[in-house]
Structure 1
Amino acid sequence: MATKLERLEFAIGMKDQASGKLGQLRSSLDKLTGSASRQFGQARDGVLGAVATGYSIHQMVAPAIDLNRALGEVSSLGRSDTGLAVLQAEAQKFAMAYGGSAAEVIRAGYDIQSAIDGLTDRELARFTAASGVLAKASKADVATMTSYMGTMYGIFKNTADGMGKSRWVEEIAGQTAYAVGLFKSSGAEMSAAFTALGANATAAGRSAAEQMAILGTLQATMSGSESGTKYKAFLAGVGTAQKELGLTFTDTRGNMLGMVDILDRIRGKFGDTLSVAESDQLKKAFGSDEAVSLIKQLMMDTDGLKANMANIANIKGMDNVTSMAARMTDIWGRLGGTVNVLAGSFGQKLLPPLEEIVGKVVDVLQNLVRWIDLAPNLARWVGYGAIAVMSLATVMGIFTAVVAVNRIALMALGGPLKLVAFTFGLLTKLTGLQTAATWLFNAALWANPTTWVVLGIVALIAAVGALVYWWDDLKAAFLDTTWGQALMKTIDAVMAPFRALGETWDWLQQKLGLAATPTTAAISAATGAPQAAIESTATALTSASATGPLSSLEAARTPAIPAGGLLQATTNQINKGRTRQTTIGSVTINADQPMTPGQLDEWAALQAG
């Protein structure tokens, strides 16, 4: 059984060893988290740098990519490189004059080319530019006005082919812009009106100016599509209405009269206003309420309608369109369009080498796809490896975050915990609730991961100490079992050669005079003390050790937890164990009996402690 002195030496040694291990553990954690933070920072900076560089390059050539894509769309309809160059030049000219994107105007050329066959390169460019300028002047988007131009060409195809498509499109653009401004409409509403009307009025021989004036006047009280529907209903019933009303709505050649002439003849029969019975008669004659609604609205101001038709017909070019578009464009819009054109032109010169590099990257990716198909198992394991690497990185990130949060929490709780410790200490002195105060104070630290690490180390130290203290009892209990005895015999058989070697070494030391155990005679010769006194003192020390523990080692201990809780107490105790020393003063030995070898060993152990 181990003596009290041996257990004390073991405890002190364990404290010294544990303090060093705790210091190493803390240092290792600091190095680990610091290294992880640096590596994550480098990874973040590297990824952000690569992304920023790639994004910058992409933004530099983005206008050129968009421009080339738009040209590719038009090229798919059979346009030559020369026609594409003319179209691009016209689109860039528009963007610099009125703002916007040249690619948007080029895409409008795709819609024009799809709707109108037989356009030359110059005509396609003029149609596209006119649609863009009209869109700006009529507060519509380019796509809507491009669709409108395609619809108008379908309605007035004969007129356009007769006068030339380029001239016709400029005239239609000018007349539309004037009508939109005159009737407070918009390009989108005018497009919806002609879409609903279709070619019915043109088939009846009515001009574009007359149709625009009628539809624009109607849009003062209704939407564009509704105005087209009412005009269409009127045209559908005008042939039968003249028979029912006994009026003539055609000329000598059988062509329908103009709207103003028809309204004048209806007014001549019914007057300036229509009664309920007269409205019912008109409805029966024209066959719909829509036609009667059109007649009632247009009859209120036939002179104004006639003047508007004449004014629209006098528009022969795009002068008013360009002036309207210019007034709606500010210098900042022009700056944006010019920058877009500059970036597109500059990017088109940079794209060829970049596209070559990207093409190589695409080839590599295609080879990777082929290799994956050829070796799916290898690809799967590569994927597993990538997932494992990312998982480890995730774990390290979580670990670093936990340690950082732990440190922040300890920093935030440091001051309050000291105040709480002082308060609980005062309460325990006043009320005697020391145990309760200690438990409440330490409860705040049980969720701290570092606390559990330290407690684990302390538990390990306690387990090793208990194993040493009760080793004899454990060994005896172990040897009471059959399997334990068999195991010990096996261990003895394995250790026999080593014990024999040790015995041989001890015999050799004794023969050579190298024995390490000093005798009482040797101590007497070295110190000058009588041999009898040395043996007597050793006997007294042995008796004191056997009778009971030293009073200084068994002194009463008052349990107290300093500020900082269990973790702080453990740390303070470990730190004290590093530097605390016990000094024993000079010892004078007077004994009549010499020390036995066992007494001398204990005396040497006491001096070493």
Structure 2
Amino acid sequence: MSTKLEKLTFSIDLLTKGVTGKVGEVQRSLDSLASKSSAAFMQIGMGAAGVAGAGMSLLNIVQPAREMNKALAEVSTLDVSDQALKLLSNEALKYSIQFGESATAFVSSAYDIQSSIAGLDGSELAKFTRASNVLAKATKADAATMTGYMGTMYGIFKQQADVMGKAEWVEQLTGQTATAVKMFSTNGREMSSAFTSLGANATAAGIQAAEQMAILGTLQASMSGSEAGTKYKAFLAGVGNAQKTLGLSFTDSQGRMLGMMDILGKLKGKFGDTLSLADAGELKKAFGSEEAVSLINMLMADTKGLGAAIDQIGNINGMDKASQMAGKMVDPLDRVAQGANAVRIALGQSILKGVAPFANKLADTLGVLSKWTQMFPNITKWVGTGLVVILGLAAALGTLSIITGMSRVAMIGLQPAITALTWGLNGMRTAITLVNLAWKANPLGMIIGGIGLLIAALPTLLGLWDSFKQAFGDTLWGKVVMAVLNPVVMVLRQIGGAVSWVLDKLGLLPEFSGALSSAVQGVSASGGQGVVDTPAMLDAPRSASVPSGGVTQSISNAMTRNSSNSRTIQQVNITTSKELDAQSINEMAWMAAG
């Protein structure tokens, strides 16, 4: 018997170590798979990141140049020569570095100028564009507004511009406009609105640009630019009829209209320095509108200042004043940023010249491949299927990595249960060891106690296993754990069956049912008083009574070998929840004998 118990103890020890070993093997396999998958994905990711990084770096370098080239391409659609485009590009880079503004926006504004002013050559387009952008900076307007202003003014003063030269005229106009804006505390947007409302009426009457700017600027002290242009236009419309009604001449010997200072001088000679209510009514009848009377009334209040403004604006040549005003509004950090951008544009344009042929070849190749997909649908299908398979494998590996990580977390959460199971197996091994020692020592009470502990441990372990299956049997990690531990549980069940068979053959199975381990604690090996508790839960079918010469004879022989022939059975209290027959009492008494 001792040899069999030793073998059983050895088997359970192997099972205990086997549980840990199996779980460890599973964990190591999952870790290895996860590590290889992660390494593969990391390698793919690093390679893809390298390719993407190189591509993004190249795109980042050439992006400003691409934008500039697109703007230049738009201007080229207006039949602008390559030489003119080159001059425009160089002027744009100079402007951006000097004033801290976008070179691409500079080129884009050239499109509007070329659209509104026909016949500009290469240098003229670049100068018109520069003048418009500098004026926009100086007068706190946007480039689009000033570009439109230049187109409007060229339409109004076209004859003068052609005689002077377009480039010289636009630079003078830029300087005069900037001076007028500063002098009358207005801005480029309002001045543009004033001339848009006025149109070419004053120019048609022979009025110079400086005088028109001075008049419109003076009026803008108390009204908007568009309203100032409307009043000036009304005055010009009624001046011819007014001279007849008032008996005054507002034209020179050649029939051209006199300047505003001469007309105001004649009106002052007739009505004085200020206009009365009657005078205003007479002027309204003469000029035909309230707007014309309002203009005369405002300008007569300061004819000296108006004359000085006309002279100052008329003396402007070139756009130095506008450049000075624009320079005062430049942020040095903007200059640095746009300077760096200009370098990127120049560098990117050089790169694009070398890349362009390759890009065109690649585009042509892609076009051919696109045609092949239509010409050979079956090949296209297989190529597409191959790509799907590759992507599917990548997705599977990614999913496997996720599952592995989840399984690792699950194993960590399951560790307490595995530990408890290991402890249970260790407890069983200890119990069997005690039983083995008990057989060697041969006190019957220690033998019964050890066997009771062995039997009591099995239902607990198997109950834990059944609870685990019910709770986690449907989860992925639960199935993994069950696959590992099922062999262990099967061995435990076989051990329980073997022990039950042995006890049945010995006639002790009914007494070891349920919690017999608590009953044997009351048995004193020294012959003291003990209590045997037989719970009502012991409902297992009873076997036949102990056979003659069975356990009784074994006990007698054991006692004969280890003690004297004399023995004493002291008082034994038998507690039970049901009636016991004589046979049961006799068996209990023999079991309690020490």
- Which TM-score band applies after superposition, normalised by the shorter structure? 0.5 to 0.7
Residue 505 (structure 2) pairs with residue 545 (structure 1): yes
In the alignment, is the contact (CA less than 8 A) between 2:245 and 2:286 conserved in 1?
yes
Given residue 226 of structure 2, which amino acid in structure 1 is its aligned partner? S
Match of residue 519 from structure 1: none
- TM-score, normalised to structure 1, is 0.63
CA shift at 1:370, angstroms? 1.2
In the alignment, is the contact (CA less than 8 A) between 2:97 and 2:336 conserved in 1?
yes
Change (3 A) 1:350 1:285: same
In the alignment, is the contact (CA less than 8 A) between 1:171 and 1:316 conserved in 2?
yes
Larger displacement relative to structure 2 (325-334 or 49-58): 325-334
Q: Deviations over 1:370-417 (max 9, x none)?
A: 1222244654564465456546645654664576578779989999xx
User: Residue 223 of structure 2: SS of its match in structure 1?
Assistant: coil
Match of residue 298 from structure 1: 299
C-alpha separation in 2, matches of 1:363 and 1:263: 73
Match of residue 69 from structure 2: 68
Match of residue 256 from structure 1: 257
Q: Deviations over 1:420-464 (max 9, x none)?
A: xxxxxxxxxxxxxxxxxx9xxx9xx97996764467548966997
C-alpha separation in 1, matches of 2:517 and 2:276: 118
Change (3 A) 1:314 1:549: same
Match of residue 148 from structure 2: 147
In the alignment, is the contact (CA less than 8 A) between 1:406 and 1:448 conserved in 2?
no
Matches within 5 A, 1:264-283: 264-274=265-275, 279=280, 282-283=283-284
User: Residue 211 of structure 1: SS of its match in structure 2?
Assistant: helix
Q: Deviations over 1:561-600 (max 9, x none)?
A: xxxxxxxxxxxxxxxxxxxxxxxxxx9xx9xxxxxxxxxx
Match of residue 136 from structure 1: 137
Change (3 A) 1:13 1:71: same
Given residue 68 of structure 1, which amino acid in structure 2 is its aligned partner? N
Match of residue 348 from structure 1: 349
CA shift at 1:348, angstroms? 2.6
Residue 274 (structure 2) pairs with residue 314 (structure 1): no
C-alpha separation in 1, matches of 2:110 and 2:101: 15
CA shift at 1:208, angstroms? 0.5
Larger displacement relative to structure 2 (253-262 or 281-290): 281-290
Match of residue 367 from structure 1: 368
C-alpha separation in 2, matches of 1:410 and 1:295: 97
In the alignment, is the contact (CA less than 8 A) between 1:33 and 1:403 conserved in 2?
yes
User: Residue 255 of structure 2: SS of its match in structure 1?
Assistant: coil
Given residue 207 of structure 2, which amino acid in structure 1 is its aligned partner? R
C-alpha separation in 1, matches of 2:193 and 2:103: 26
CA shift at 1:230, angstroms? 3.0
User: Residue 221 of structure 2: SS of its match in structure 1?
Assistant: coil
CA shift at 1:243, angstroms? 4.7
CA shift at 1:553, angstroms? 8.8
User: Residue 119 of structure 1: SS of its match in structure 2?
Assistant: coil
C-alpha separation in 2, matches of 1:88 and 1:122: 11
In the alignment, is the contact (CA less than 8 A) between 2:410 and 2:477 conserved in 1?
no
Match of residue 59 from structure 1: 60
User: Residue 307 of structure 1: SS of its match in structure 2?
Assistant: helix
C-alpha separation in 2, matches of 1:140 and 1:406: 66
C-alpha separation in 1, matches of 2:506 and 2:262: 141
Change (3 A) 1:379 1:207: same
Given residue 305 of structure 1, which amino acid in structure 2 is its aligned partner? L
Change (3 A) 1:411 1:555: closer
Given residue 348 of structure 1, which amino acid in structure 2 is its aligned partner? Q
Q: Deviations over 1:466-487 (max 9, x none)?
A: 9999xxxxxxxxxxxxxxxxxx
Q: Deviations over 1:459-516 (max 9, x none)?
A: 96699799999xxxxxxxxxxxxxxxxxxxxxxxxxxxxxxxxxxxxxxxxxxxxxxx
Q: Deviations over 1:187-240 (max 9, x none)?
A: 233223222322121112111001111222222233333332332233333334
Change (3 A) 1:187 1:400: farther
Change (3 A) 1:200 1:404: farther
Matches within 5 A, 1:39-50: 39-50=40-51
In the alignment, is the contact (CA less than 8 A) between 2:133 and 2:143 conserved in 1?
yes
Given residue 63 of structure 2, which amino acid in structure 1 is its aligned partner? A
Change (3 A) 1:543 1:325: closer
User: Residue 329 of structure 1: SS of its match in structure 2?
Assistant: coil
Matches within 5 A, 1:229-244: 229-243=230-244
Residue 322 (structure 2) pairs with residue 336 (structure 1): no
Match of residue 219 from structure 1: 220
Change (3 A) 1:456 1:318: same
Change (3 A) 1:402 1:273: farther
Matches within 5 A, 1:202-601: 202-243=203-244, 247-274=248-275, 279=280, 282-283=283-284, 285-376=286-377, 378-379=379-380, 382-383=383-384, 386=387, 389-390=390-391, 393-394=394-395, 397=398, 400=401, 452-453=478-479, 456-457=482-483, 544-545=504-505, 547=507, 549=509
User: Residue 168 of structure 1: SS of its match in structure 2?
Assistant: helix
C-alpha separation in 2, matches of 1:232 and 1:50: 66
User: Residue 220 of structure 1: SS of its match in structure 2?
Assistant: coil
User: Residue 161 of structure 2: SS of its match in structure 1?
Assistant: helix
Q: Deviations over 1:247-290 (max 9, x none)?
A: 54333433333233334444555555556666565555544444
C-alpha separation in 2, matches of 1:35 and 1:453: 23
User: Residue 106 of structure 1: SS of its match in structure 2?
Assistant: helix
C-alpha separation in 2, matches of 1:18 and 1:545: 32
CA shift at 1:149, angstroms? 1.8
CA shift at 1:551, angstroms? 6.8
Change (3 A) 1:210 1:411: farther
In the alignment, is the contact (CA less than 8 A) between 1:10 and 1:465 conserved in 2?
no
In the alignment, is the contact (CA less than 8 A) between 1:100 and 1:336 conserved in 2?
no
Equivalenced residue count is 461
In the alignment, is the contact (CA less than 8 A) between 2:27 and 2:408 conserved in 1?
no
Given residue 224 of structure 2, which amino acid in structure 1 is its aligned partner? S
CA RMSD across the alignment: 4.6
Residue 74 (structure 2) pairs with residue 114 (structure 1): no
Match of residue 579 from structure 2: none
Q: Deviations over 1:304-327 (max 9, x none)?
A: 112111100011222323333333
In the alignment, is the contact (CA less than 8 A) between 2:179 and 2:313 conserved in 1?
yes
C-alpha separation in 1, matches of 2:505 and 2:246: 143
In the alignment, is the contact (CA less than 8 A) between 1:213 and 1:308 conserved in 2?
yes
In the alignment, is the contact (CA less than 8 A) between 2:109 and 2:144 conserved in 1?
yes
Larger displacement relative to structure 2 (218-227 or 377-386): 377-386
Question: Structure 1 stretches of 5 or more lacking a match?
Answer: 416-437, 470-540, 559-586, 591-609
In the alignment, is the contact (CA less than 8 A) between 1:14 and 1:461 conserved in 2?
no
Residue 126 (structure 2) pairs with residue 125 (structure 1): yes
Q: Deviations over 1:325-378 (max 9, x none)?
A: 333335444433433333333333222222223223212321222122224465
User: Residue 56 of structure 1: SS of its match in structure 2?
Assistant: helix
Match of residue 498 from structure 1: none
CA shift at 1:160, angstroms? 0.9
In the alignment, is the contact (CA less than 8 A) between 1:75 and 1:84 conserved in 2?
yes
CA shift at 1:170, angstroms? 1.7
